[in-house]
Structure 1
Amino acid sequence: MHIEESSILAFLATWPLPTLGVGVLFWALVQRPWLTLRRETLQHAWLGSLVFLTLLWSARATVGEGVVIQLMGASLAVTMFGLPLAMVTLAIVDVVSLLGLAYLSGRGWAQIDWVSLGPRFFWMALVPGALTAALQAALRRWVPRHPFVFILGHGYFSALVAAVVAGGLRAIWQVRMGVAQGGLGLADSLTGAVIIAFGEAFLTGMLVAIFVVYRPQWLVTFDEGEYLRGR
């Protein structure tokens, strides 16, 4: 199998990332997240999210001096399905979207950048997903239960903070390890992270608001008994 030298160097510089990713996936599978899909309405939402998130991970834009803008959807997945199922879902999305990008770029099977699966999953799924789950747990504990608070807190706030922190950590890691794409400096990478964060917050918040009103059964983290009936 032919792998570009730059990809090999990137893998050697970021080897802990695939290891942590595999560990988190093992934890997620131990939680038996597929039991969440016993509800038929949630099955439809999950299948639709696979398609949507795959398209999201396959779409990217480059602005300025090589700053890559790519939405992640990790906060949305965690809000809809909980952390374990979200991690499994995004692992599938990681593989399928990489194959899709290879197809669109005309690469053969042997030219696919397989070593990028680990870092992609770590930075685009694991870190923002874990941060989102932690922030939402804090909101459930310390903030009053109200649909409007849920939309702002779980939809906008958690997505924004998770994306900023995940993007900032990724930028610092890439610069320190010498694997920053396109030779970008830390300032440019952090600028891209902030732009992505606002996009994440807008996308997640908008969809969460729609689901709360029209499809609350699609949100595992939204308990109608607590948020709508005041229980």
Structure 2
Amino acid sequence: MGLTDNLFPAWLLLVTAVMFAGILVRAVRQTDWQWLRSEQRLQHCLFGAAVVLGFLWQLRAGLSPGLSIHIFGMTAVTLMLGWRLAVFSGLLASVIVVITGREPASLFAVNGLITVMVPALVTHAIMRWERRRNFRNFFAYIFFCGFFGAGASVLAAGMTMVVLLWLTGVYDWYHLQHDYVRYLPLFLLPEGFVNGVVVTGLMVFHPELLTTLDERRYR
């Protein structure tokens, strides 16, 4: 989901821009740039994922004026690259979306926060939880991190968008609940399916591409 028209007041755009910048700075500081430079395969995954997401996000449906929905795909990218590199890949995809005119440049920060950063961080949190539980069956990684993680990330992003629209008075709660919130569970199923299938395929055929996967735990 993303904003296609500037619905928010200037003060909220400033607040979201500060939050966006804070998360981005943390990602930049915590990224192992030497590892990224030395791993050509990782570079291919980062830029390849950005291109795929950029074109995937062209396919969207409009809901209320200025608000659209689309498959995120950020869960699979986060499990491939880790949340920091996933943020960079997602933001590169957002640049493609802006260049193609799907979203305005003025909303880059708020759309980046909701579409890229929130799903990446939620997926990362669920992945950390799965690690702490120390499951020994690889289906736990596929189900919790892939299928469930994708659904949870979309739910978090969707509710973040709803709360922002409600707090700023862009839409009243009845309108949001009637035209958006009650349909949100329908968005979770395709998101979980798409990401879960991608993660399953990678785990079976190319587990080395999933940098968050510790294969030793499932032997």
| TM interval, short-chain normalised | 0.7 to 0.9
1:76 has 2:107 as partner: no
Aligned partner of 2:16 in structure 1 is: 17
Q: SS of the residue aligned with 1:185?
A: helix
Aligned partner of 1:204 in structure 2 is: 195
Corresponding residue to 1:157 among 137, 143, 148: 148
CA–CA separation in structure 1 for the residues paired with 2:184 and 2:15: 22
Tell me how far 1:191 sits from its aligned partner: 3.2
Bigger CA drift: 120-129 or 164-173?
A: 164-173
- CA contact under 8 A between 2:46 and 2:85: conserved in structure 1? no
CA–CA separation in structure 2 for the residues paired with 1:176 and 1:8: 12
- CA contact under 8 A between 2:130 and 2:140: conserved in structure 1? no
Aligned partner of 1:222 in structure 2 is: 213
1:7-56 Cα distance to aligned partner (Å, 9 max, x none): 38544333211111111111111113444433333333223211111112
Normalised by the size of structure 2, how large is the TM-score? 0.86
1:94 has 2:94 as partner: yes
Tell me how far 1:70 sits from its aligned partner: 1.1
- CA contact under 8 A between 1:8 and 1:115: conserved in structure 2? no
- CA contact under 8 A between 1:53 and 1:93: conserved in structure 2? yes
1:62 has 2:62 as partner: yes
Aligned partner of 2:167 in structure 1 is: 176
Cα distance, 1:199–1:175 mapped onto 2, change above 3 Å: same
CA–CA separation in structure 2 for the residues paired with 1:185 and 1:9: 15
Identity %: 24
Tell me how far 1:86 sits from its aligned partner: 0.9
Q: What RMSD in Å do the two structures reach over aligned CA positions? A: 2.4
1:167 has 2:158 as partner: yes
1:190 has 2:177 as partner: no
Corresponding residue to 1:133 among 113, 124, 127: 124
Cα distance, 1:192–1:11 mapped onto 2, change above 3 Å: farther
CA–CA separation in structure 1 for the residues paired with 2:190 and 2:10: 28
Structure 1 runs (4+) deviating above 6 angstroms are none
- 5+ residue gaps, structure 1, are 1-5, 103-111
Letter in 2 for 1:53: L
Aligned partner of 1:106 in structure 2 is: none
- CA contact under 8 A between 1:164 and 1:193: conserved in structure 2? yes
- CA contact under 8 A between 2:57 and 2:72: conserved in structure 1? yes
1:112-154 Cα distance to aligned partner (Å, 9 max, x none): 7221101101111111211111111011111413221111111
Cα distance, 1:161–1:8 mapped onto 2, change above 3 Å: closer
Cα distance, 1:75–1:101 mapped onto 2, change above 3 Å: same
